[in-house]
C-alpha cells in the first residue's frame, strides 16, 4: 500500500517515481521509497482542483529490488500467446499453494496481457520536488477542508474504529486523503490482470507473483469477486490502497457483513483496516507523530539524527522547545528531524512517526500524513519557514555530489543518486571540514562548494 515518491534522507528532494499517476496526472505527488508499484490508475474525470490536491500511497514495505533501473521499452513482439502460456505454467504453482482450480479459472476468465501496465511500469519518470512543494499539495487548504468534511460524515464509524484500535481518527482520515483523495480515486484496473502481467514480465516477477497469489487467496475467501477486485496498475486496492499481501495480514471486517470490503463505496472496512495496520506496527495511543520545535542558536546539529533519542524534557534542557515556547510534554523518547536542514522547519519526532513509515517510508509522506491529521483536527500551519529559494537536486546532480564527496575523501559508499544514510554522513563530515553547519542537508549550494 503506497505510491512512489521518495524523499532523500537529507530531506531535500522527493522523487516521484512515476506511477500511473505520474504519467496521467503530472501534478500528482506521492512520497515513498517504494517501488513505483504505484497506487492508482484513474479513469475518473477530475477537476483542476482535484488534480492539484491529489496524492496516493499505500502501506507495505517494498523490497529494494523493486527500485531497480527500468529495462528497455516493451517489445512490440510481446504477445498475448506468450502470456497465456505463462498463465498455464503459473496455474500449477498457484494450485500448489492452495488455490483451487475453480478460483483460478474464475480469476483468469477473460484476463489478457496488458501492455499499458508494462508501459507504465517501464516509463516511471522521475520528477523532483522539494518537501515544501510536496506539502503544499499534500496538506493544501482544499485537502484539509475535505478531510474535515470526511471526518464529520463518518464520525460514528471513525470514533468506533479509534476506540477499538487506539489510532487517532484524524490520522486514519489523513492516510485516506493522501491515498485516494478520500475515496474519490481508488483505481479501476483489473488487479488480477495487472499483477499477472507484471509477474509474467519478470523484471520483478517474484514480488508480483507473490502479490498475485495473495490476490487469489482473497478471491478464494469470498471477500470480493474477480472483476470487482480493482485498483492501481500495480495492484494497490481500495480507499487506502492496500497491496494484496497487506490486505491478507491486516484487513478487517468492521461492518460485520462477513466480508473485508475495502472496495465498497462505504469506506468503513478500509478505514478500520488502516487503523489495524498502524496498530499492528505499534501505534501508541495519545502520542503525536511529531511536534514542530524551535532550536537554540547553540544547537549541536550532529544530534539531529534518528540515532539520537531523548525525552522531550531532556531536549528542553538543551534549549529545544515547542513553537509555543514551552517544553514538549514527555510523550516518549524522541529525535530531532530537519528535512530541509538548519534553515527549514524542525521537528521532534516520536515512535508513531516510525509507525506511519510502515505505510510509506519517505519522510515527506509521514510529515504529510502527520501535518494533515493535525490540520484536520484544528491544528495550525507550520510556524517556521522553508528555504524557498532552494530547489531540489536533479538525479544527475545527486550522483555528481556523491562522486565529488567521494573524490574529496568523504566516501558515500557508492554512486546511485539516492541520498541515503551513508551519503548523509558524508555530507555532514564534509560540512564539518568546511566549518559549515553540519546538518546533513544535500543542497545545491553544497554541490557548488564541492565543485
Residue 307 lies in a domain: no
What total of structural domains would you count in the chain?
2
Looking at the structure, do residues 269 and 408 belong to the same domain, yes or no?
A: no
What gap in Å lies between CA 22 and CA 37, rounded to an integer? 12
Q: Contact, 278 vs 359, CB < 8 A?
A: yes
pLDDT of residue 80: 84
Residue 244 lies in a domain: yes
What gap in Å lies between CA 376 and CA 304, rounded to an integer? 28
Looking at the structure, do residues 135 and 258 belong to the same domain, yes or no?
A: yes
Q: Contact, 35 vs 62, CB < 8 A?
A: yes
Q: Which of 262, 281, 300 is the last residue of a domain?
A: 281
Q: Which of 263, 281, 299 is the last residue of a domain?
A: 281
Residue range(s) defining the domain that contains residue 429? 395-450
Looking at the structure, do residues 276 and 413 belong to the same domain, yes or no?
A: no
Looking at the structure, do residues 10 and 158 belong to the same domain, yes or no?
A: yes
Q: Contact, 183 vs 267, CB < 8 A?
A: yes
Residue 61 lies in a domain: yes
Residues forming a β-bridge with 190: 230
What gap in Å lies between CA 28 and CA 377, rounded to an integer? 24
Residue 125 lies in a domain: yes
Q: How far is CA 366 from CA 2, 123, 131, 138, 361, in A?
A: 12, 26, 11, 11, 8
Quickly count: other Cβ atoms within 10 Å of residue 45's Cβ. Answer: 6
Looking at the structure, do residues 270 and 415 belong to the same domain, yes or no?
A: no
Cα–chain-centroid distance for residue 223?
26
Quickly count: other Cβ atoms within 10 Å of residue 60's Cβ. Answer: 24
Taking phi first (over 0 means left), then psi (-120 to 50 degrees means alpha), and beta for anything else, what does residue 261 get?
Answer: beta
Q: Which of 224, 255, 281 is the last residue of a domain?
A: 281
pLDDT of residue 127: 55
Kindly report the CA angle at 116 between 115 and 122, in degrees rounded to 5?
Answer: 90
Q: Which residue has the cell 496498530?
A: 279
Residue 379 lies in a domain: no
Residue 117 lies in a domain: yes
Residue 302 lies in a domain: no
Q: What is the mean pLDDT of each run of 10 residues along the chain (451 residues)?
A: 37 30 29 35 30 36 37 52 95 98 98 93 70 96 98 98 98 98 96 97 92 98 97 96 97 97 97 98 98 97 94 98 98 97 97 96 94 98 96 92 96 90 92 94 94 94
pLDDT of residue 33: 34
Residue 437 lies in a domain: yes
Amino acid at each position: 500500500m503506497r505510491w512512489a515518491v521518495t524523499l532523500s534522507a537529507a530531506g531535500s528532494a522527493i522523487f516521484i517515481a512515476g506511477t500511473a499517476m505520474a504519467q496521467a496526472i503530472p501534478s500528482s505527488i506521492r512520497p515513498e521509497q517504494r517501488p513505483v508499484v504505484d497506487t492508482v490508475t484513474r479513469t475518473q474525470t477530475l477537476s483542476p482542483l482535484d488534480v492539484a490536491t491529489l496524492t496516493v500511497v499505500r502501506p507495505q514495505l517494498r523490497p529494494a529490488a523493486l527500485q531497480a533501473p527500468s529495462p528497455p521499452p516493451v517489445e512490440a513482439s510481446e504477445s498475448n500467446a506468450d502470456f497465456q502460456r505463462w498463465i498455464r505454467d503459473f496455474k500449477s504453482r498457484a494450485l500448489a499453494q492452495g488455490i483451487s482450480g475453480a478460483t483460478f479459472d474464475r480469476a483468469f476468465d477473460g484476463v489478457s496481457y496488458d501492455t499499458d501496465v508494462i508501459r507504465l511500469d517501464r516509463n516511471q519518470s522521475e520528477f523532483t520536488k522539494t518537501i515544501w512543494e510536496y506539502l503544499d499539495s499534500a496538506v493544501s487548504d482544499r485537502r484539509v477542508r475535505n478531510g474535515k468534511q470526511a471526518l464529520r460524515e463518518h464520525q460514528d464509524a471513525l470514533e468506533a474504529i479509534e476506540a477499538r484500535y487506539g489510532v487517532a481518527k484524524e490520522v486514519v482520515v489523513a492516510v485516506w486523503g493522501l491515498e485516494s483523495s478520500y475515496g474519490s480515486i481508488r483505481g479501476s484496473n483489473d488487479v488480477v490482470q495487472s499483477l499477472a502481467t507484471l509477474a509474467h514480465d519478470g523484471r520483478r516477477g517474484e514480488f508480483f507473483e507473490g502479490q498475485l497469489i495473495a490476490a487469489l487467496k482473497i478471491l478464494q475467501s469470498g471477500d470480493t469477486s474477480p472483476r470487482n477486485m480493482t485498483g492501481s496498475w500495480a495492484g494497490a486496492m481500495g480507499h487506502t490502497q492496500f497491496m494484496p499481501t497487506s490486505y491478507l495480514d491486516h484487513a478487517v471486517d468492521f461492518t460485520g457483513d462477513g466480508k473485508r470490503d475495502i472496495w465498497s463505496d462505504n469506506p468503513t472496512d478500509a478505514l478500520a483496516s488502516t487503523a489495524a495496520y498502524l496498530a499492528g506496527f505499534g501505534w501508541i495511543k495519545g502520542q503525536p507523530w511529531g511536534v514542530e520545535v524551535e532550536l537554540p542558536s547553540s544547537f549541536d546539529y550532529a544530534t539531529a539524527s534518528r540515532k539520537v533519542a531523548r525525552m522531550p524534557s531532556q531536549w528542553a534542557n538543551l534549549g529545544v522547545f515547542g513553537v509555543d515556547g514551552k517544553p514538549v510534554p514527555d510523550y516518549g523518547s524522541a529525535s530531532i528531524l530537519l528535512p530541509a536542514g538548519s534553515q527549514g522547519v524542525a521537528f521532534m519526532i516520536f515512535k508513531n512517526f516510525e509507525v506511519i513509515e510502515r505505510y510509506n517510508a519517505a519522510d515527506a509522506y509521514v510529515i504529510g500524513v502527520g501535518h494533515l491529521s493535525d490540520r484536520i483536527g484544528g491544528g495550525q500551519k507550520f510556524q517556521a519557514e522553508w528555504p524557498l529559494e532552494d530547489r531540489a537536486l536533479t538525479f544527475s546532480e545527486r550522483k555528481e555530489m556523491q562522486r565529488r564527496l567521494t573524490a574529496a575523501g568523504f566516501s558515500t559508499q557508492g554512486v546511485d543518486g539516492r541520498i541515503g544514510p551513508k551519503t548523509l554522513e558524508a555530507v555532514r563530515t564534509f560540512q564539518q571540514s568546511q566549518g559549515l553547519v553540519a546538518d546533513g542537508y544535500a543542497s545545491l549550494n553544497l554541490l557548488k562548494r564541492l565543485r
